[in-house]
Amino acid sequence: MRSVILYSLARLAIFAATAGVLALFGARGFLLLLMALLVSGIVSYVLLSGQRDRMSAAVTRGVRTQRSRFEKSRTKEDGVRPGAE
């Protein structure tokens, strides 16, 4: 979970910095947001690849853990049927 938060904060910081620089160069309104989104996306893709991999691994582990818990719960529930004796 921590890696997801760190990655999101890094993406937000890169977006804010990009928007600030573009605003200094005179971009305003919708054009500013559109350009900042495009440029920060490209910069994030390059600079945050390692962090993105760590976040992806953490999300995958979490999904596997939840799926395992669900399967155990389902198996336990299916194994005990009232009145089946």
pLDDT tens profile 45-80: 999 999 999 999 999 998 998 888 888 887 776 665
Q: Compute the average pLDDT of residues 25-46.
A: 95
pLDDT score for 78: 66
Residue 77 lies in a domain: no
Residue 80 lies in a domain: no
Please report, rounded to a whole number, the percentage of residues in the chain having pLDDT higher than 70.
Answer: 89
Task: Report the distance separating Cα 4 and Cα 2, nearest Å.
Answer: 5
* H/E stretch holding 56: helix 49-79
Residue 85 lies in a domain: no
Instruction: Residue 37: give the domain boundaries.
Output: 2-72
**Model-level pTM?**
0.72
10-44 as b/e, with b when 16 or more CB fall inside 10 Å?
A: bbeebbeebbeebeeeebeeeebeeebeebbeeeb
Overall domain count for the chain: 1
Residue 79 lies in a domain: no
